[in-house]
């Protein structure tokens, strides 16, 4: 009787890869190390993930889903910025992985010569949708504001993750970021009926 495939194997492999990445980043993520940590063989890992790049893609998909879940749970632009920064601080190596490799692994723009507007960016689209829900109007009204909020949150996250903002100034940086979010909302929010009545 032939052996049945392990339905949990792919998840185990990605769990092992994620733990290795958390411990040692890119250097720790070898196919052999992943196989050992997942309690399987290297050929079995190659059957599920033909290359290390495919494992990275699997990890990126996980991180992207985590970001999507994070955005879904937020109830205001302020909580979104705070949650984004907290994710980066709590998971610095995953955050680094996402921003160091996402363009290379997710986007086909260079190979297919697609315009940037056609890139798949579910986190960006969901952020614009949530801004429209919170403030009125349509998601396409929030392109510039979403980019500005993302730049602010990402910049703050990188300062904290890289320890450029040391412990004594980290709290001050976070407070300044929240004030900057409020300024951006006041200055850049489109003039929708909902936003006009709240001013």
The residues, any chain, with a CB within 8 Å of residue 13's CB and separated by 6 or more, are 34, 38, 40, 45, 48, 49, 55, 58
Return mean pLDDT, the chain: 85
Q: What is the CATH number of the domain that holds 186?
A: 1.10.357
CATH for 22: 1.10.10
197 in a domain, yes or no? Answer: no
The pLDDT tens digits for 99-111 are 887 776 665 545 5
Domain count, the chain: 2
pLDDT tens by residue, 13-65? 999 999 999 888 888 999 999 999 999 999 999 999 999 988 988 998 888 89
pLDDT digits (tens, 9 = 90+) for 82-103: 999 999 999 888 888 888 877 7
pLDDT of residue 166: 74
Contact 107, 113 (CB under 8 A): no
Q: Bigger pLDDT: 71 or 163? A: 71
Q: Are residues 57 and 136 in the same domain?
A: yes
In a domain? residue 1: no
Full-model pTM = 0.78
Cβ neighbours for 53, distance < 8 A, ≥ 6 positions apart = 105
Domain span at residue 41 reads 9-50
Q: How far apart are CA 133 and CA 175, in angstroms?
A: 25
**Nearest-CA neighbor of 97 among 45, 49, 59, 69?**
59
- The whole-angstrom separation of Cα 87 and Cα 65 is 13
191 three-class SS? coil
In a domain, 2, yes or no: no
Nearest CA to 55 out of 88, 79, 26 is that of: 26
113 phi-psi bin (left φ>0, alpha ψ -120 to 50, beta other): left
């Amino acid at each position: 009787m032939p052996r049945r495939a392990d339905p949990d194997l792919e998840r185990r492999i990605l769990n092992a890869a994620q733990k290795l990445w958390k411990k040692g980043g890119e250097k720790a993520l070898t196919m052999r190390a992943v196989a050992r940590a997942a309690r399987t063989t290297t050929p079995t890992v190659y059957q599920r993930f033909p290359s290390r790049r495919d494992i990275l893609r699997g990890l990126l998909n996980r991180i992207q889903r985590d970001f999507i879940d994070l955005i879904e749970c937020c109830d205001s632009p302020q909580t979104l910025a705070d949650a984004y920064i907290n994710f980066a601080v709590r998971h610095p190596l995953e955050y680094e992985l996402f921003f160091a490799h996402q363009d290379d692994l997710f986007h086909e723009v260079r190979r297919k010569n697609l315009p940037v507007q056609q890139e798949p960016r579910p986190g960006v689209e969901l952020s614009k949708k949530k801004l429209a829900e919170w403030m009125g109007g349509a998601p396409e009204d929030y392109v510039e504001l979403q980019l500005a909020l993302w730049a602010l949150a990402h910049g703050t996250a990188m300062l904290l993750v890289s320890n450029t903002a040391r412990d004594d100034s980290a709290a001050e940086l976070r407070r300044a970021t929240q004030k900057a979010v409020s300024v951006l909302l006041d200055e850049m929010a489109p003039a929708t009926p909902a936003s006009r009545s709240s001013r």
